[in-house]
Amino acid sequence: MMTVEELRKIKEETLKHMESKLYKLDKEKIGQKATNRHVLICGGPGCYSSNVEEIKERFVEKIAEKGLENVEVSISGCFGLCESGPNIEIYPDGTFYSRIKIEDVDEIVEKHLCQNEIVERLLNEDAKKEDKILPVHQVDFYKKQEKIALRNCGIIDYNSIEEYIALDGYHALAKVLTEMDRGEVIEVMKKSNLRGRGGAGFPTGRKWETAYKYEADKKYVICNADEGDPGAFMDRSILEGDPHSVLEGMAICGYAVGSDQGYIYIRAEYPVAVKRLRTAIKQAREKGLLGKNILGTGFNFDIELRLGAGAFVCGEGTALMESIEGRRGMPRPKVERTAHKGLWGKPTIINNVETFANVAPIILKGADWFRSIGTEDSPGTKVFALGGKVKNTGLVEVPMGTTLREIIFDIGGGTVGGKKFKAVQTGGPSGGCIPEEFLDTPVDFASLSKIGSIMGSGGMIVLDESDCMVDIARFFLDFTVDESCGKCVPCREGTKRMLEILERITEGEGTPEDLDRLESLAEIITSSSLCGLGQTAANPVVSTLKYFREEYEAHVYEKRCPAGSCQALLQYFITDKCIGCTKCARNCPVSAISGKVKEKHVIDTETCIKCGACMEACPVGAIIKK
């Protein structure tokens, strides 16, 4: 059994080995001398799949070969800038290398580590400005970010409980167990006004209080790690990069509400996160930070994993509990509150990964500190997975209230290839598309819902002028139809009919009545579906109909796709640029192109199957589609 004293000792011991990489937290110190050097390799989802384990091994080998001392190499959680991965940072100087291949390692060791000479060709493209080399924290992508949930991601080694403890890990648990009674913990959480990061934004403290006040022989704490929005990987990054932060948050919740058993419901499609969580739980048990009589205080709390079998709907609280109980993952009606009668009929708290990751800092630094970040209504930060047609795709954490424009343009670097920004989709399949006119909207729970979208779990997909909004709505509906559990009629039958209408419109077969149909269906699906999945399923359609109705109308009335994206409505043409090289005609699989050598060719649009082979073959870009 560990004591609080031993916890502090581990912290002190471990900090000694972490010196230079801690400069990442203490930006003033970057560039100053340190007793050691650190090569930090990003082990986030994207980078990890680009063989960073091999890159690390090569670093270790090469450093040994060169006889360098006091250089530590470690893989840590996600740095965030997935676009340019695999990423590497070297401390104490904070040099930021990107797109590193195993062949580049020798050069970095030889030049950077041996001769203190920066390898300019491998620097991140934004780490160089007017011949000046910028340390990582001055790169635009990171400047406006503020990290609470991701505080340890990209610094600590995710396999090391000691490094987590060194950065005050499990100190919040120690504090609540030794200095606070349960009611005080609830009060701090209520005062912090931490709102659920899974999407709905319900105040965490109030939720905990409901379970805390309800007497029962058994209570449960569940961490919802069934992250399933297309393109979202916030929770995954936290679980993979800093698993202990979630375990600690759950244990604190367990203490506050009076529970001794936690479950993490995680999708089986996250094998790396599952593996790292298993390791973390094992370590915490060995150290006596989970299990019986934690820190000698008599408090018992243990955590088990439950793996989801691949259904998006199991991210919905009641379906999640059904699944844990061993039944088909389908939502059940909430006759009673989950905090009163949840898992196996017992009081249950379900919070999302990011919510739990916020708990320990709030306990340590206080509710006032937390409220000083973000907005009055939505304090703290929010993690977003920035994707789509944006330059810097990746993971960002910003204070609530940051505007969409700041996130997309200042941090995200704007759209790619000079294309015009069109909209941003937030909240995944439950969210909506926000047009350019609302780019200055601050990102918080109330503001986003006011403009027809939702915060959601944090997916943010940028769309440019080449994206057809009808097709985007169709894409999200297709996802929902696929993921509907099939229990209630509006969702099972209604979303399917909505999708069929959208498919007809994108194929040029839509009628004016279809637009009215979409609106009436949306109303019924939203107002009468059983669970959140159905109740929000129509949002992508409603928001695009509201802000981009003219695009729908162009498809329906003019049989035209203004974005030039819907294949069925496009036609290929050869412009005057044609040099008559005959390449297009030779590549056309249906012989729809005719023309003499050195003369302009013509496409027979009746025969054309719109495969695009001619366009690819044309050496002068003379073929266009419209």
Partner 1 sequence: MANIIINGKGYQVEDGITILEACNRLGIDIPTLCHDERLEPYAACRLCVVEIKGKGKLETSCSTKVRDGMEIETHSERVIRARKEILDLLFSNHPNDCLTCEKSGECKLQDYCYEYGIVEGTYIGEKKNYPLDESNPFYTFDPNKCILCGKCVRVCSELQGTNAIGLKDRGFDTKVSTPFDMGLATSKCVSCGNCVAVCPVGALMPKKRERYRAWEVRRVKTTCSYCGVGCQMYLLVKGDKVVGVEPAKSRPNNGLLCVKGRFGYNFINHPDRLKTPLIKRNGKFEEATWEEAYDLIVSKINEIKGKYGPDAFAGLTSARCTNEENYLFQKMFRALIGTNNVDHCARL
Contact footprint for partner 1 (CB under 8 A): 311, 313, 328, 330, 332-335, 481-490, 492-497, 500, 520-521, 524, 526-530, 535
Tell the smallest beta-carbon distance from residue 200 to partner 1 (Å).
14
Q: Residue 540 has which token pair? A: 């992508």
Tell the smallest beta-carbon distance from residue 500 to partner 1 (Å).
4
Of residues 143 and 334, the one with the C-beta less far from partner 1:
334
List Cβ neighbours of 6 (8 Å cut-off, separation of 6 or more): none
Q: Number of C-alpha atoms within 13 angstroms, CB side, residue 6?
A: 9
Rounded Cα distance, 188 and 171, in Å: 16
Of residues 29 and 487, the one with the C-beta less far from partner 1:
487
User: Phi/psi of residue 501, each to 5°?
Assistant: -65, -45
Residue 589: C-alpha distances to residues 310, 363, 585, 616 (Å): 40, 66, 9, 13
Rounded Cα distance, 133 and 118, in Å: 9
Of residues 213 and 332, the one with the C-beta less far from partner 1:
332
Tell the smallest beta-carbon distance from residue 312 to partner 1 (Å).
10
- Provide Rg for the chain, Cα atoms: 27
Tell the smallest beta-carbon distance from residue 333 to partner 1 (Å).
3
Q: Residue 241 has which token pair? A: 């990069």
Tell the smallest beta-carbon distance from residue 530 to partner 1 (Å).
6
Tell the smallest beta-carbon distance from residue 480 to partner 1 (Å).
9
- Other C-beta atoms closer than 10 Å to the C-beta of 353 total 30
Rounded Cα distance, 107 and 120, in Å: 11
Of residues 171 and 496, the one with the C-beta less far from partner 1:
496
Rounded Cα distance, 53 and 237, in Å: 17
Tell the smallest beta-carbon distance from residue 110 to partner 1 (Å).
56
**Tokens 């579906």 sit on residue:** 529
Of residues 130 and 335, the one with the C-beta less far from partner 1:
335
List Cβ neighbours of 72 (8 Å cut-off, separation of 6 or more): 17, 21, 36, 37, 38, 39
Tell the smallest beta-carbon distance from residue 484 to partner 1 (Å).
4
Of residues 140 and 269, the one with the C-beta less far from partner 1:
269
Rounded Cα distance, 270 and 155, in Å: 21
Q: What is the largest CA-CA distance in the chain?
A: 90
Of residues 43 and 329, the one with the C-beta less far from partner 1:
329
Of residues 524 and 609, the one with the C-beta less far from partner 1:
524
Of residues 317 and 361, the one with the C-beta less far from partner 1:
317
Tell the smallest beta-carbon distance from residue 487 to partner 1 (Å).
5
H or E segment at 177?
A: helix 171-179
Burial 187-200 (b: 16+ CB within 10 A, else e): bbbbbbbbbbbbbb
User: Phi/psi of residue 170, each to 5°?
Assistant: 60, 5
